[in-house]
Amino acid sequence: MFMKKGLSLCASAILLTACASGSHVVTGTQRAAIDVEVVKVYSEAPKTEYEVVGSIEASSSRGMTQQGRMDSAIEALKEEAAEIGANGIIVSNFPNHSGGISTQVSTGISGGSRGFSSGLGTGITIHPAAVKGTAVYIFDVAELPSIKNPTLTQ
């Protein structure tokens, strides 16, 4: 019973502290903000006319798997692009092993004239997934294929 409560508490703490964040630098012409659902993700420059709007990056520790954290980082990247009016993102890095979870366990024993004491500590570190890209405005998006669900390669 105690173990289940402990795991529940740990999972709750992870979910409450997990976050995604992003940033952008406008290097071209900023447009009015658009709906994030309109933004498409590309693994290479489209073969149609486009204009660079800016440089964007995002990271996320939201998700229990690397893929979950990458999906969340991509969504944050799309939000940054939408904010500056870009309808496309050319991703410049899909890291192979972005993110991850580390666990630590430590023990200690001390003694003295008043007796002995011992302790046990544990910790979990969630490493965020990070992704960078170029925010672009694509003039004719109807004919272009985009990445539907970007995945990490092993």
Q: What is the pLDDT of residues 92-113, one digit of tens each?
A: 876 555 445 566 777 777 777 7
50 or 151: which leads in pLDDT: 50
Read off the pLDDT of residues 62-84 as tens digits, 9 standing for 90 and up.
777 778 888 889 999 999 999 99
Read off the pLDDT of residues 10-32 as tens digits, 9 standing for 90 and up.
554 444 445 767 778 888 889 99
Q: Residue 6 CA to chain centroid, in angstroms?
A: 27
Question: Would you state the pLDDT for residue 38?
Answer: 92
Fold of 15-99+126-138: Translation Initiation Factor IF3 (3.30.110)
Helical segments of the chain, H only? 2-17, 66-83
The tokens for 58 are 């995002």
Please report, for residues 5, 15, 38, 63, 105, the alpha-carbon distance to residue 11 in angstroms, rounded to integers and kept in the order given: 10, 6, 33, 11, 17
pTM above 0.85, yes or no: no
Given a cut of 50, whether residue 55 has pLDDT beyond it is: yes
